[in-house]
Amino acid sequence: MYRYEGNLKDLEDAVVLISFPKEAFGVPSALRAFICTDAAIATQEILDSYLVRWSIEVFFRQAKQKLALDRYQIRSALGIRRFWILMSTAHLFSCIASGQFLPFHDGFSAMQKSIEIERISFIYHCGHSGIPLADVLAFAC
């Protein structure tokens, strides 16, 4: 663990903690950096705060990458609340849709695979039943 205290671009008196696990020292993907804007806080307290927040940070990253949190353009408070409810429900559904509780990434991947299988099955059954492609495309769009 290395602790730096001082100016950091536009932040005065910030703290940067840089950490490598002993068994992974020098492995770039194992590097962890934590930033705090209050230099009076002890190193362990900063780490404990990040530990509590980590699942929240992971949720926001997943919501941005998979659920378009960073791309919505809603301006009304009601619209924003509704979007949050839909996004949170989609996140929860991804975790439980398989009938067991899965981490979001695994559940989301399983859900995408299931949707793709349903899509292919639909197209196959339409073809097998002699439904013209134009009708299948009209239904899909």
Q: What pLDDT was estimated at residue 12?
A: 84
Q: DSSP string of 99-134?
A: SS---HHHHHHHHHHHHHHHHHHHHHHHHHTT--HH
In tens digits, what is the pLDDT along the chain, a chain of 141 residues? 889 998 888 888 899 999 888 887 778 888 888 999 989 999 999 999 999 998 888 888 998 988 888 888 888 999 989 988 998 899 899 889 888 899 999 999 998 998 999 999 998 999 899 999 888 888 876
State whether residue 68 is helix, strand or coil: coil
d(CA 135, CA 128): 14
Output the pTM of the full model.
0.61
> What does the pLDDT read at residue 116?
93
Burial class of residue 94 in the structure, from the number of CB atoms within 10 Å of its CB (0-12 exposed, 13-18 middle, 19+ buried): buried
| pLDDT at site 141 | 63
